C-alpha cells in the first residue's frame, strides 16, 4: 500500500499561523513590560520628588539628614567606621555621589569624580561618595581599582537613596556651604564640566 503524502498547507493557513505566532510574541512582550514597570514602580515606591520639585521652582531645598558610617576616610570625614553626617560638613560645598561596585556607569564616572576632587579639594570642596546596597569588600576593591581618594560613606540599605529622592545609581547632588541642594544630576556624569560649572557658581556666592 502506497503511503499518501499530506495535502499542502494553504497559503492562507500559513499566514494565519504566522499571525497567531506574532500575536503570542507581542502578548508575551507586553506582559513582560508590565512586569518590569511593576517592579520599577515597587522599587521606587516611597521615593519623594520634593527635592527635584523644589529645584525646578528655582529653589534650593535643604539636604536631607543623612548620617552613615565612613567607608573611606578623607579630610574632615573619618576615621573609617565613624558616623559622619552631612550636617557635620556644613560650611563646605559638597559633591555627593551615589554609587555602588555593581553599577557599570559608576565605573565610567569614577575617574571624573576623582578629577573634580583633585581640582577642588584645596578650595574647601568635599567630594563625598555614598556607597549604597553594596558589600564592603567589593566597594573597597572598586575604590582601589579606580584609584579613588575622596571619602565615602556606606549605606547597607537604601534609606539614604530614598531620602535623596534617587531612583537609580549613579546620581549626584551639589550641596552649597549652607547645606542646601543646588543641583541634582540624574544618571551618569559624563564630563567634569557637568559638576564644575554649577560648583563654580556655588563657590562664587
**CATH number of the domain encompassing residue 150:** 3.40.30.10
- Does one domain contain both 39 and 72? no
CA distances from 12 to 22, 23, 29, 104, 184 (A): 15, 16, 26, 49, 57
CA distance 39 to 68: 28
Q: Are residues 20 and 39 in the same domain?
A: yes
Same domain, 134 and 154: yes
User: For the purposes of burial, counting CB atoms within 10 Å of the CB of 170, is it exposed (0-12), middle (13-18) or buried (19 or more)?
Assistant: buried
Q: In this structure, is residue 1 part of a structural domain?
A: no
Instruction: Assess whether 15 and 86 both reside in one domain.
Output: no
- The pLDDT score that the predictor gives to residue 144 is 97
Considering the domain architecture, whether residues 83 and 115 belong to the same structural domain is answered as yes
pLDDT band at 22 (very low <50, low <70, confident <90, very high): confident
Q: Are residues 112 and 135 in the same domain?
A: yes
Q: How far is CA 187 from the centre of its chain?
A: 6
pLDDT category at 33 given cuts 50, 70, 90 is: very low
Total domains present in the chain: 2
Please indicate, yes or no, whether residues 126 and 173 belong to a single structural domain of this protein.
yes
138: nearest Cα among 99, 188, 109: 99
Reply yes or no on whether the pLDDT at 32 is more than 80: no
Question: What average pLDDT does the segment 103-123 reach?
Answer: 97
Q: Please check whether residues 176 and 96 belong to one and the same domain.
A: yes
Percent of the chain with pLDDT over 70: 80
Instruction: Enter the C-alpha cell of residue 22.
Output: 506574532
In angstroms, the Cα distances linking 195 to 157, 183, 203 are 26, 9, 12
pLDDT digits (tens, 9 = 90+) for 174-192: 999 999 999 999 999 999 9
pLDDT at 195 over 70: yes
Question: Are 29 and 93 found together in one domain?
Answer: no
Domain range enclosing 36: 10-43
| Residue 151: per-residue pLDDT | 98
Asked whether residue 37 is assigned to any structural domain, the reply reads yes
* Residue 79, preceding peptide bond in cis (omega within 30° of 0): yes
3 assigned to some structural domain: no
Pairing of strands 126-132, 152-155: parallel
Largest separation between any pair of C-alpha atoms in the chain: 99
Q: What percentage of residues in the chain have a pLDDT greater than 90?
A: 75
Whether residue 98 is predicted with pLDDT greater than 90 in this model: the reply is yes
123-176 pLDDT, tens digit each: 999 999 999 999 999 999 999 999 999 999 999 999 999 999 999 999 999 999
Amino acid at each position: 500500500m502506497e503511503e499518501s503524502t499530506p495535502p499542502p498547507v494553504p497559503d492562507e493557513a500559513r499566514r494565519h499561523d504566522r499571525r497567531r505566532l506574532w500575536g503570542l510574541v507581542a502578548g508575551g512582550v507586553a506582559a513582560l513590560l508590565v512586569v518590569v514597570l511593576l517592579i520599577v514602580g515597587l522599587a521606587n515606591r516611597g521615593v519623594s520628588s520634593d527635592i527635584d520639585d523644589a529645584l525646578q521652582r528655582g529653589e534650593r531645598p535643604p539636604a536631607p539628614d543623612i548620617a552613615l558610617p565612613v567607608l573611606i576616610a578623607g579630610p574632615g570625614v573619618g576615621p573609617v567606621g565613624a558616623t559622619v553626617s552631612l550636617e557635620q560638613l556644613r560650611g563646605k560645598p559638597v559633591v555627593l555621589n551615589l554609587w555602588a561596585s555593581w553599577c557599570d556607569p559608576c565605573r565610567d564616572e569614577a575617574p571624573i569624580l576623582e578629577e573634580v576632587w583633585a581640582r577642588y579639594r584645596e578650595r574647601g570642596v568635599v567630594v563625598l561618595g555614598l556607597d549604597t546596597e553594596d558589600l564592603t569588600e567589593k566597594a573597597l576593591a572598586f575604590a582601589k581599582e579606580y584609584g579613588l581618594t575622596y571619602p565615602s560613606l556606606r549605606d547597607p540599605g537604601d534609606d539614604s537613596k530614598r531620602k535623596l529622592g534617587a531612583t537609580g545609581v549613579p546620581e549626584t547632588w551639589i550641596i552649597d556651604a549652607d547645606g542646601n541642594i543646588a543641583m541634582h544630576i540624574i544618571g551618569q556624569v559624563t564630563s567634569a564640566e557637568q559638576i564644575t560649572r554649577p560648583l563654580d557658581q556655588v563657590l562664587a556666592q
